[in-house]
Structure 1
């Protein structure tokens, strides 16, 4: 199971690389065409914008799994294990509520986006903004599972250290191998 999830996230990381490379190529190509040949490709402008949206939201899920989001680690590091656990539970509860609100907002916006099409490519806008479902469910599942484990007392010391920003690369490799 864990290995399958690792492969899923490796696939997401590869997708991020592809999206970033395609976005850079499209933007660079349009700059060259615009300033060198006084022309451009409209499709590449629109696709680059949509790739940026997808890159951002998929990247949010990947970085959440790696505990790489911004945090107030200098404060959390000052606490002992109980204080860190309390901070983890509080922040996870807030994140879970935010993901629920994000899912609900995407759900309410979905019919509106489904009725609109992009100006150049002509695809339905729910293909662009529907990525909110992926992000809210992805982060929501991860934080929900961690919250349940924290409330059940099944959070390891290594996870608390990682939450406080004390994790080393060697620890990351060891945790993934387990």
Structure 2
């Protein structure tokens, strides 16, 4: 099961990279064709816009799993474990509710636009709104798993705070943990020879 989940998120990352590359080619190629040859790629703007929407939502799924979204943790990180746990459970429940609403809206829009065709490509506009379904199902499962782990008590104190105010702060805290762990090992290494000499 773990391999399947990892494979799914690896697929999302590959799709994000492909979508970004196709966007660059379409937009840059269209600019070159317009200025150099007075022509262009008809579907360039439309397809680039759709790919950008898909890329954004797929990236949000990956970021949610990796706790990459930014948030305000000033109060939460100062709370005791029970306070952090309560805040986490409340936030997960609210996120799950919002995800359900998003799924319902995306489902309705996908059905409404099933027969509607895009002007340039002729593809169904439902493909544009369908990303909301992929996003809702994926994030819903991630949130449910996080909620289950929180209720079961499977999370450490550090894992109870799932957002950081800035990426720099997170990097600083990670570096401090690494330095503290290394200093602990250095003290242990220095202490071992001294015990040997006492004997």
TM-score (norm 1): 0.86
Q: Which runs of 5+ in 2 are unaligned?
A: 165-169, 178-199
In the alignment, the residues of structure 2 paired with residue 5 and residue 117 of structure 1 have an alpha-carbon distance, to the nearest angstrom, of: 34
For 1:133 and 1:96, the matched residues in 2 are separated by 14
* 2:43 equivalent in structure 1: 43
Shift of 1:36: 2.3
Q: Do residues 168 (structure 1) and 155 (structure 2) align?
A: no
The answer on whether the counterparts of 1:114 and 1:125 sit within 8 Å (CA) in structure 2 is yes
CA contact (8 A) 2:64 2:139 kept: yes
How far is 1:45 from its partner?
1.7
Q: Matched residue of 1:28: which SS? A: helix
Q: Distance in 2 between matches of 1:31 and 1:164?
A: 39
Matches within 5 A, 1:46-61: 46-61=46-61
Give, in whole Å, the separation in 2 of the partners of 1:119 and 1:47.
Answer: 11
Q: How far apart, CA to CA, are the structure 2 residues paired with 1:79 and 1:160?
A: 10
* CA distance 1:37–1:104, shift in 2 (3 Å): same
Matches within 5 A, 1:8-157: 8-157=8-157
Classify 1:112/1:144 alpha carbon distance in 2 versus 1 (closer, same or farther; 3 Å). Answer: same
Please identify, of 31-40 and 110-119, the stretch whose mean Cα deviation from structure 2 is larger: 31-40
Moved over 3 A (4+): 164-169
Structure 1 residue runs without a partner (length 5+) = 172-178
Q: Separation in 2 of the partners of 1:154 and 1:70?
A: 23
- Shift of residue 116, structure 1, vs aligned partner: 0.5
Larger radius of gyration: 2
Cα contact 2:116–2:125 (8 A) shared by 1: yes
Aligned to 1:176: none
Compute the RMSD of aligned alpha carbons.
1.9
User: CA separation in 2, counterparts of 1:106 and 1:47?
Assistant: 19
